[in-house]
């Protein structure tokens, strides 16, 4: 079965493919020749994930899943949330995003936050959702070279290091994205999915 992962990230694609049952042939947007930007205009992570999955399913008539992730900071009423990737502007600049967040938290005592990932799977004419989240704290300075996005300033609960300092295996095990993908993969393994 051909299943589309609505991403251009080939590394992420290979990681997920290794975890899937052998009957699933996972392909990316790049593999499909899809280069046009897919609109992410919903005001929730769930809505954006569904928009992306729906766009691919309708355009290519293939089963598809898409994910959207946000960082929700309690002292900022859940911001940056659905706007996490472009918090400091349309360029999707991770350093600028982190700098803006650290500035906005400068005078805040509460630095608690959570990461949340929502996956929308379009399969057999229905949409299923899988979620994962992790609680933690926003640090005062950037630490670590691994990961991406806000990883250098997010310290998960129960750890004294940021996501950018932890081994990838640890991050995948305890992290929001890993938890959501584990649920998706478990579903695909236990269901006799055919198209």
Q: What domains are there in the chain, each with its CATH number?
A: 2-190 (3.90.950.10)
To the nearest whole percent, how much of the chain has pLDDT over 90? 73
Mean pLDDT of the chain: 92
Catalytic residue among 31, 54, 67, 68: 68
pLDDT digits (tens, 9 = 90+) for 103-139: 999 999 999 999 999 999 999 899 999 999 999 999 9
Retrieve residue 1's tokens: 């079965």
Task: Give residue 193's pLDDT.
Answer: 52
Q: Quick one: which of 68, 71, 42, 85 has its CA closest to 136?
A: 71
pTM exceeding the 0.85 threshold for the entire prediction:
yes
Residue in the structure block whose two tokens are 């290979």 = 14
Give catalytic status of residue 99 as yes or no.
Answer: no
Is the pLDDT score of 194 beyond 80? no
Q: How far is CA 12 from the centre of its chain?
A: 11
Nearest to 114 by CA among 60, 73, 144, 86: 73
Terminal-to-terminal C-alpha distance of the chain:
7
Query: CA angle at residue 120 from 118 to 124, to 5 degrees?
Result: 160
Rg (CA), the chain: 17
């Amino acid at each position: 079965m051909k299943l589309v992962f609505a991403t251009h990230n080939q590394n992420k694609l290979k990681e997920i493919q290794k975890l899937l049952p052998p009957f699933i042939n996972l392909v990316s947007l790049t593999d499909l020749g899809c280069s046009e930007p897919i609109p992410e205009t919903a005001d929730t992570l769930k809505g954006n994930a569904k928009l992306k999955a729906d766009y691919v399913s309708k355009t290519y008539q293939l089963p598809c899943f898409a994910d959207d992730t946000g960082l929700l900071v309690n002292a900022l009423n859940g911001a940056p949330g659905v706007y996490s990737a472009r918090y400091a502007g349309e360029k999707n600049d991770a350093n600028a995003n982190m700098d803006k967040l650290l500035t906005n938290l400068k005078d805040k005592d509460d630095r608690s936050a959570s990461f949340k990932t929502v996956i929308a799977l379009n399969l057999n004419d229905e949409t299923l959702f899988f979620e994962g989240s992790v609680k933690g704290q926003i640090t005062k300075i950037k630490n670590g070279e691994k990961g991406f996005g806000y990883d250098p300033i997010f310290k998960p609960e129960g750890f004294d290091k940021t996501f950018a300092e932890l081994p990838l295996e640890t991050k995948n095990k305890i992290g929001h994205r890993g938890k959501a993908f584990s649920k998706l993969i478990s579903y695909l393994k236990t269901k006799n999915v055919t198209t």
